[in-house]
Amino acid sequence: MSTESSAELAAARATIREQDEVIGRLLREKHEPIAIVGLGLRFPGDNDTPAALAEFLDQGGVGTGPFPADRWDVSAFAAETAEKGRINSSGGGFLTGIDEFDGPFFTISPKEARCLDPQQRLVLETTWAALEHANIDPTRLRHGTGGVYFGASSMDYALELGALADEDLDGYLAAGILHAGVSGRMSYFLGLRGPSITLDTACSASLVALHLAVQGLRGGECEIALCGGVNAIHHPLSTALLSDMRALAADGRCKTFDESADGYARSEGCGVLVLKRLSDAERDGDTVLALIRGSAVRQDGESAGLTAPNGTAQVALMRAALANATLTPADISYVEAHGTGTPLGDPIEMAALDEVFRDSHTADDPLLVASLKTNIGHMEAAAGVGGVIKTVLQLQRATVYPHLNIDTPSGRIPWDTYPVRVPDKSEPWRAPVRRAMVNSFGFAGTIASVVLEQATVSPRQAAPADAGGVFTVSAKSAPALADQLRGYQRLLADEPDLAVADLCYTANVGRAHFRHRIAGVVRDRDDLAALLARSAETESTATAARKVAFLFTGQGAQYAGMGAGAYRRYPAFAAALDECDRLLTPLVGRSVKDLVLDPAAPDLDETRYTQPALFAVEYATAKLWLSWGVRPTVLIGHSIGEVVAATIAGLFSLADAARLVAARGRLMGSVRSPGGMVSVPAAAEDLADLVDAYPDVAVAAVNAPGQTVLSGGEASLTEIMAALADREVTAKRLTVSHAFHSPLMAEVVDEFRAAIADVDFRQPEVTLVSTVTGQVARWRELADVDYWVRQIVAPVDFLGAARAAQKRGKHVFIEVGPGSTLTSLAKRCVTATDHAWLTSLRRSDVDAESLPAAVAKAYAAGLAVSWPDFHAGAVHRKVDLPTYPFERKKYWLATPADTQSERTPAASAPKAEPARLDPEVLADPFRRRPAVEDLIQRILAAAMDFAHPGEVGLDAEFGDLGMDSLVATELRNALIAALPVPCPASAVFDHPSVRKLAGFLEDQFVSERIG
């Protein structure tokens, strides 16, 4: 064979191998198990958590009962006769508070909330709870390809519109009553960009939604899927129509497989599953509750009638689901049946089960069959997901829950020949591998089946029992935060073995973070209990919106071992310090890392070593904060600290910075003229006469009001100190090797300029405030070698720099370096009290405990922290935590039917149009601003149906209140009508709060010279 032929053969073999790998990958993806990582539910019987439902089912709980009085006039529809339009059932399964919703949480105004079908509201709240049960921060899904798949069939809210007067119709109802809004509104709120589908296949809808979600995940259409179903029953017509079909049980119970079966009990509820590909769930450290191995959807096709079940189709469906799961009937030990309790449907389904499982199961090894509907009724579009949730709980707990209401097994089912058994009490689920099938059959013939399997993913190792961490909890309001605290207190009492570090980790990474916040470092359960108790005693206030300022410390703050704890504990710090060491060590002549970590470090105070060591520690500390997602908007550096600030801002590369720092420290430390520095408790201008008298003395730093540092020749400083003593001013010598920032530094200026002449300057990405000028620096000014030469001679104007930063708004000032020198000074420099002050490293803190404490304070001050990055590299597992305590209020359409029942709509604001303000008030600058604020509040209260203008907070963001473009236009038009100043179209969105918009309008009054 020729060489050319051999090469061609080798290439062909390589191509075949690649194609085989692609085919294998595609097959794996096609059949990859889908992990169920979160459950959300609101079911009859006041079941709203997985744990509550598990206990309810284990105890044989009953969630059905009489029709609630708040739905319709029950007596008016009682079926005392066979008259059309009556209801021949006594009840079903119902939720409490079907008319209640936490609109503000979802940034939905009262006006819009009233127009939303309660099914949309249930899905919003239940999906949020499902994500929290999965310990997934919902806000981290934003702009991702998350998919939303829901089943919904009820049209009851649309039926409510028939009783509305024309003047009560509202545009919000257009989207509020659409089934499309069930999924669309969820995607909109979470910012998801994957598929968003609401489907209606009647009773099978939620299982069909699950099937589509599985396909979406396996096909790569979405990275996470939220799926389920919802049902709400509050208008009598739909129930009356089903009564006319003789579909409903007279006693309001599903008596599935019983001789007395006479129809089903209508039930409402919402169930949500959070799904991921198994490989993704394992990668993300999720708790896998169960696996979806396969699913199938079919149609009855031609049968005895549109609503009549078709056993042949059911057999084909279940076999297709098993084939999709690559399993056989022998692998299944439990079936959650559709089992509605009808005398026709139950025998047909049981016969289909016999057909599928007769060769794999026997009377001695029977297939267990049961139905959730005997506990809570038939949730119709949500029934399938209800069966899945029940089955997941059984798989997790290796327990089969009892099937109720089977006193006399149905004579229509040949029990002696079928290989099935219906459990009548809780029992262990004994199987080598627990696998189950869940069936859901639709009213119009669309049928679905899903195959589930117990989770086999090894759980992550728990944190050590004695480990602590940063604990955070937050809410959108003070009352909700108080509820959260009580929830955690109950958790501590109920779970004595829960590792605090795991609790902290989960609370940080698995929850969204809102403006009412509490945080602290806790070492153990007692610490956490004390923090919760202290916090519960004080009503929280929303954190202010703050920017971040990094303060980079100057020479004199160094101490031996100043980075040792952080180096051991934080990989991001260690990596940055190692990089500095790699670049600086050849330039400095010894290991900078050793200088920083050495607990003795005898030569750390030598300037040639001090400055590189400080640079390395401060650079690494800044990189650590940045790795945690804390992003500064302004940087201030004191002397050598300004070089670190410029590096972090991106003015020059780390390599160039290393050359600059090494030259700076070496040359400033080589100055031959003897000199020193003196701290004086006086303003610089009060010292001018003394400084002017000595040519070798200068002001080295203005650190704070009445706090000045002088630098210069030793003899001159001695004389100045004596003169100050005569003025009863006590000056203090500083322990330094040279007279920095003084005329004595002039001897190294030329050499320093030459050493840094080829530094490559770039436009910085973060604002720097110059401590040379005391002002916000222009980048062209910084991108000049002469600036950095002048910087070693010129005085440090820290006072001016701190005040320049203050003018840019509220800040969290973080000292990014050893000690707290700059935060102490900055507190004296700024006059506002609404800043926060944090220290990163402390001399006595050998284990870097000050850093997590600083992070907790930063979070409590309102900063965003990337908690997954904060916990990177640590050993933790996710644990169950309390879910968000929604603050529900009544929102319902006001119809004549409300006078017939106990249901009442929430009060709304009067619709009177705000009048023009009194010209005398507008002409008075002192009265005008409050009057305009009140006007805006009244307009918005009327436009969005707030009960009182005071509910529109002065600082509440308009978007958080539920404002949309329609309300914004209404507000602008009303302001134009009420005020004699212009209000541009963009004003409402550019100034999105009452206080901000009123401030803008005040500027308009001033520019128009009114008042």
Catalytic hit among 115, 133, 179, 203: 203
Residue 361 is a catalytic residue: no
Nearest-angstrom CA–CA distance, 473 and 512: 9
The token duo for 202 is: 């009647």
Half-sphere exposure of 119 (CA within 13 A, CB side): 32
Type of residue at 900: Q
Residue 51: count other Cβ atoms within 10 Å of its Cβ. 12
Nearest-angstrom CA–CA distance, 430 and 428: 6
Tokens 């019983």 correspond to 258
Say if strands 100-101 and 889-890 run parallel, antiparallel, or are unpaired.
Answer: antiparallel
Helical residues (DSSP H) of 471-590, grouped into ranges: 478-494, 500-509, 525-536, 564-569, 571-588
The token duo for 759 is: 């530094």
Contacts of 759 (CB under 8 A, 6+ apart): 652, 656, 659, 660, 785, 788
- Say if residue 251 is exposed, middle or buried (CB neighbours under 10 Å; 0-12, 13-18, 19+): middle
Nearest-angstrom CA–CA distance, 782 and 785: 8
Nearest-angstrom CA–CA distance, 8 and 144: 44
- 8 A C-beta contact, residue 65 and residue 266: no
- 8 A C-beta contact, residue 162 and residue 172: no
Nearest-angstrom CA–CA distance, 789 and 657: 14
Nearest-angstrom CA–CA distance, 869 and 572: 10
Rounded (5°) CA angle 869-872-876: 120
According to DSSP, the residues that pair with 702 across neighbouring strands are 708, 797
- 8 A C-beta contact, residue 109 and residue 83: no
Coil, helix or strand at residue 868: helix
Catalytic hit among 179, 211, 234, 338: 338
Nearest-angstrom CA–CA distance, 831 and 326: 71
CA-based end-to-end distance of the chain: 100
Residue 983 is a catalytic residue: no
Residue 378 is a catalytic residue: yes
According to DSSP, the residues that pair with 64 across neighbouring strands are 93
Give the burial string for 473-501 (b: 16+ CB within 10 Å, else e): bbbbbeebbbbbbebbbebbeeeeebbbb
- Say if residue 272 is exposed, middle or buried (CB neighbours under 10 Å; 0-12, 13-18, 19+): buried
Nearest-angstrom CA–CA distance, 940 and 929: 17
Backbone angles phi, psi at 130, to 5 degrees: -65, -45
The token duo for 65 is: 């009962």
Nearest-angstrom CA–CA distance, 359 and 331: 12
Q: CA separation (Å) from 209 to 226, 263, 1010?
A: 9, 25, 61
- 8 A C-beta contact, residue 892 and residue 906: yes
Catalytic hit among 179, 235, 361, 378: 378
Q: Which residues are catalytic?
A: 203, 338, 378
